[in-house]
Structure formats: C-alpha cells, structure tokens
Amino acid sequence: MGKNVAQKLIDSHLVSGEAVQGKEVNIRIDQTITQDATGTMSYLQFEAMGVPKVKTELSVSYVDHNTLQYGGFENADDHRFLQTLASKYGIHFSRPGNGICHQVHLERFGKPGKTMLGSDSHTPTGGGIGMLAIGAGGLDVAVAMGGGPFSLVYPKVVLVNLKGKLKPWVSAKDIILELLRRMTVKGGVGKVIEYGGEGVKHLSVPERATITNMGAELGATTSVFPSDDVTKAFLAAQGREKDWKELSADPDAKYDEQIDLDLNKLEPMIAKPHMPDQVCKVSEIEGMKVDQVCVGSCTNSSFRDLMLVSETFKKGGFKVHPEVSMTISPGSKQVLDMMALNKGLAHLIEAGARILEATCGPCIGNGQSPPSGGVSLRTFNRNFIGRSGTKDGKVFLCSPETAVAAAIYGVITDPRKLGKFPKVKMPAEFLVDDSMVVPPAKDPSKVSIVRGPNIQALPKQGPLPDTLKGKVLIKLGDNITTDDITPAGTWLKYRSNVPKYSESVFAQIDARFHEKAKATGGGFVVGGENYGQGSSREHAALCPMYLGIKAIVAKSFARIHKDNLVNFGILPLTFANPADYDGISDGDELEMTGLKGGLNSDTLVIKNVTRDKEIKLKHGYSPRQVETILAGGTLNYTTAKSR
Ligand code: MIC
Ligand code: SF4
C-alpha cells in the first residue's frame, strides 16, 4: 500500500516499534535545535549524560528569546554558557541577533527528508521544507543529541487538500487560522497534518512554514508539506540546491481524515482574545480601535512578509496611524540585511514603524506589552491571556496584510480595502552570510564551559513511592497553557534557575501557590481538557516537580506537556469518566496506593479522602513510560539502564 509523506518520513527513520497507529515507535533524529530559554536546561541534562560529542548530523543552539535583558546579568550569563558548551560538544551556535531559530533554520539548515527535534513547540516550522520536525521538552532533545531515539505515538495523518489559489490580500496565515477555526486548539492532538492538493504549488516555502509553524496551535504532533520544485527553488536561492530531495505522497496513499480547503474562497481571518482558535472573518469585527500592531515572530517574519508590509506603505504613500504603536521584528539577519540593502527597511522607518531586533521580542512578552485594556494586533501565533505582559490586554492574531491595514487606519480593517496588491516575488538569490553562526571548536579539550551564578544545578528526585498522598492545591478549567503554569515575560531570565523560577508556578492565578505547595510538601493539581497546551517548556513540569507536585489529574493533556511530566516523574492521569472532575474540589485530600504494581494496569484508583469516594483514572503509558515514572523520571531511568 502507498504511503503518505508523514508515513514515509517516520518509517524511514524507524529504530524500533511497530508502525501501527496508536502504538509507540522510536525514531532516529537527524538534527536538533534548541533556543536559549529551553536550551540551558537541555544542555545541563545533556552534560549529565556524559556523552563527549553530539551524535546527530547537525545540532544548532540558537539565542533568540532572551537577548536584551534590562538591568541584570542573567541573560548574558546564559549566552556565555550556551556558546562555550556548544563549542565543546560539537554544536553550532547561532549568536543573538542572527534571528529566530525557526526562521534561520528554515533558511540555512533545514533539509527535506530529515527528522528534527527541537526544544520549542514551533519546531514544526521545518515541515514547510519537507522535514519531520517535532517539538519536545529539553530532556528529549538532550537524549536525541546523545544519539538516543525519540519516542512518539504513531500518529493519524490528516490530509488538508488545498484547492485553487489565494486571492490578493489573503495569505498563508489565513489558511492556518481557518483550520484553527474548524479544528480548535485540541483538534490536532495525536495527528500529523499533511498538506496536499493542487493548491500547494502556489505556496512558497516561507508561506508553507507559516502554516506548519502554527500547526502547533492545533495541538498536532507536527505538520508537513511535500518537497517539490518550489522547495528546490527556495533551497537553490539559499545556495543549497544540493540539500534538496523530492518527497511526495504515493498516488494510492491513504489518510485517516481529509479536510478540503478552497483557497479561492478564503477571506482574511483573525483570532480574537484569548485563544488562537477564536477565529472569525476580519470583516466581522471591522472598525474596532487598535492601539498596537506587531509584525514578526516565527510565524510571519520572512522576507516576503516584511516586504509586503513595507511595499504596502510605500506604494500607497501610507504612514502608521498616529494613535498606533507599530513594531517590526525581522525573523533573521538575512531578512534584515536584504531589506536594508533594497530600502524596504527605509520605507518601514519612513512610515513610522519601530524596528526591533531579529528575535522573538514581544511574542514572548519581552517588551511592547499593550496599554491597559488595549487592543494589539499581532502576526504571532499565541494570544493566551497575560502572555503579552498586560493581563487585560486584548491580543488578536492575524496576517501581515491585516496587520498593516490596521496600522494605517488605526482600526481593524479588511486589507482588501487597501487597493492594488503589492505582490512580493521570492528572490532568485537570498543574501547568504553565515558569519553569526559559530561552528564548534576543532579542539574541544581547549574549551572550558563558563557558568555564571544564574546557572543552577538540576533538581533531582528519587523513585516513585508506592503511595501518593496530599491535598488538591489548585483546581483548574480547560485549555490551561504552559504560560499559565510557568509564565514567561519578566520570569524568563530564571530559566536556568529552577528554585527561583518555581516561584512563578501558577502565579498569575494564585500568587501564593508556590508557598502553599512548599508548606504542604506538595500535592495534586486538577485540570480540565487539553491541560498544558502551548509551549514545549519542560519547566512547566520541572518547577512543579521541584515544588513537590505528585500527579496532575485532568480530562486530557497536550502531547508535549504530557511527555514532559513523565520525563520528570510527575504522573499525568486522566479521569476514566470525565464527569468525575466534579467529584474533586480545591483542598480535598487525595490518596493513591499500590502504585508500584498498579501501573501495570491502565486503570488506577484515587481515593478522595475528604469525600470518602473512589475515582477511576487512566494513565495510558507505554511500558517505557511506566518504567520511567517508577524510576522517578527519565534521567534516573536512563542512568539506571546504562549501569
Ligand atoms: C513560546 O512560544 O511559548 C516559546 C517561548 O517559544 C516556547 C518555548 C519556551 O517556553 O521557551 C515554545 O513555544 O515552546
Ligand atoms: Fe519565539 Fe514567539 Fe516563536 Fe515562541 S512563538 S519561538 S516566543 S517567536
């Protein structure tokens, strides 16, 4: 039987396990990426494994999240640690200013047909160039750097069948927003989203990458496009034609689901606060006053996206509305460089846009927080409550076309009203200059790793006890994000300092949570559907572990977060009967006994001591995950196995 693109990629990298949907398989990882906010922890874990040099084909350590800290040494210390460590262990180091990891990797390193694991949830951006690119926790990435396989549940594959061609002022972002409208933020869990159909050939690689990037918001394992002539032309323009390889679905390939999307009929779309799936047509909310517009992030910061904004200002003779603060964050040094040379940058400056560094910036709450109660239109991928740094800020997610229309008129405006569309052609040649990527040392023995005081040791815990007992420390609703669990923004600088960062756990919901957890020696957390969606940050498991959290009982979990919890020995458990969620309240005393043998069965019982009631739970762990949990986490498990 023929295979689809996702199956070809997985099957060609299979190390062990059966290629049967729903079963756990192990795949070989060719490339890894890390970014600074998750990288320090990932490398501390890699060091703990005692492997002298990475065993991947390519590993790159990017600095793009925390670059311009105000009043403190923490970021700079992290950068120095990351650079020296990369040099010693055979890792390429992309210096701050070289760009956002996903954009740079697509331009300079991504290869069709390869697998990639990244300690950032938007790693699937690489799917735009025909890679099987998956986001994971830093510990999983560390294992992959050490040559270990990555375990995943063999996914369902959904075909998104694209028909026709996008109309002017409608772009790739509108495609993924429309899919989010139809599928919601949990619609992609356990699935790979594969794009096909005759509409694919009209989308450039950066446009495809916008779509695969934001597939993360669907909760999908990853998203992937075939590798075709468009991919070849992109790689050739990057001076990397030799990296091209054709990759397409067999004519008789089968899919588990199919979604048809007629690009001719698509209109500009926008996601309203505070979830990426709260999508409607831009025309439905036209006229709303806008305080801020931000263009950038790993979703929409390519040459095409920024030039589109620049050309719209220039061709129409427009300026940024006097009551709008507009920022531009280029995705890479390449984009910035090319726009400096072709005057695209000058037109943005002339129009009154504020130019930021080629980093994540406002997307992760680093600057440009909206004014109180203000409306911010962003070309980003997430609009979770508080992520922008302003709790009552209203963040909308849209395309660069919709963003520039709002920046010009000061109100939400359907970009189709802007007149003639300034089509941006893909350059025949990109400006290639990799001088901000530092290759690893030729003689690693001469490199010493520099550790400042912000680089704290990894917290540890022992094996799983037979009984878990404690109070419900917090009861939460559906779609709790990792930004709710361990916020970013001003807390980001403590990513290498778990004791300090643990003070942030649930701080936006209950500022005293960490004190409560410490005082009671830890306890349980109860959640609704899709617990832990969003970022890959393993801190959302590591910091609760540090505070003594024993298990999270929820209706369902997001994939990466569930894996992270297992990695750190916290039990992710689901209600066998979701209605039992109502049978537990904040402060209830819970108890689980006989865990050592009990995990061999998928059904467990938790006793609500306060209400004298037993509740059935499921775990759904693979045999490997059971052993990991029993050992108290992946590091304990792998160390025990290698003895
Ligand atoms: C994000 O967009 O939330 C981040 C910051 O890039 C995270 C990674 C992190 O928390 O460091 C992600 O998406 O995985
Ligand atoms: Fe950076 Fe934002 Fe992309 Fe995360 S989503 S990698 S913070 S640009």
Residues 375, 363: Cα–Cα separation, whole Å = 15
Cα-to-chain-centroid distance, residue 449: 28
Q: Are 433 and 337 in contact (CB under 8 A)?
A: yes
CA 315-173-180 angle, to 5 degrees, is 155
**Which residue's C-alpha comes closest to atom 13 of ligand 1?**
535
Task: Considering the candidates 59, 171, 376, 535, report the single residue annotated as catalytic.
Answer: 535
And the tokens for 406? 């709002």
Cα 386 to ligand 1 centre (Å): 14
Q: List all residues whose CB is within 6 A of at least one atom of ligand 2.
A: 65, 100, 120, 122, 297-298, 360, 363-364, 381
Adjacent-strand bridge partners of 162: 261
User: What are phi and psi for residue 549, nearest 5 degrees?
Assistant: -70, 130
Domains for the chain: give ranges and CATH numbers. Answer: 5-265 (3.30.499.10), 269-418 (3.30.499.10), 468-642 (3.20.19.10)
pLDDT along the chain (643 residues), means of 10: 96 97 96 97 93 97 93 92 98 98 98 98 98 97 97 97 98 98 96 98 98 98 98 98 98 98 98 98 98 98 98 97 98 98 98 98 96 98 96 97 98 97 95 98 97 88 95 97 94 93 96 96 96 96 96 97 97 97 97 94 96 96 95 87 67
Ligand 1 neighbourhood includes 122 CB (under 6 angstroms): yes
Closest ligand to residue 102's CA: 2
Choosing from 105, 208, 387, 537, which is the catalytic residue?
537
Given a contact cutoff of 8 angstroms between Cβ atoms, the answer to whether 340 and 302 are in contact is no
Contacts with 315 (C-beta within 8 Å, 6 or more apart), sequence order: 420, 422
The answer to whether 269 and 398 are in contact (CB under 8 A) is: yes
Q: Report the C-alpha gap between 328 and 324 in whole angstroms.
A: 13
The catalytic residue among 64, 174, 243, 337 is 64
485 Cβ closer than 6 Å to some ligand 1 atom: no
> What pLDDT, on the 0 to 100 scale, is given for residue 454?
85
Given this model, what pLDDT does residue 643 score?
61
pTM: 0.97
- The pLDDT tens digits for 283-323 are 999 999 999 999 999 999 999 999 999 999 999 999 999 99
Is 120 known to be catalytic? yes
Q: Which ligand is nearest to the CA of 103?
A: 2
Long-range contacts of 626-631 (CB under 8 A, 24+ apart): 626/599, 626/600, 628/566, 628/567, 628/569, 629/464, 629/566, 629/569, 629/571, 629/599, 630/463, 630/464, 630/596, 630/599, 631/463, 631/464, 631/569
pLDDT tens, position by position, 374-407: 999 999 999 999 999 999 999 999 999 999 999 9
pLDDT at 642 (0 to 100): 66
CA distance 359 to 67: 8
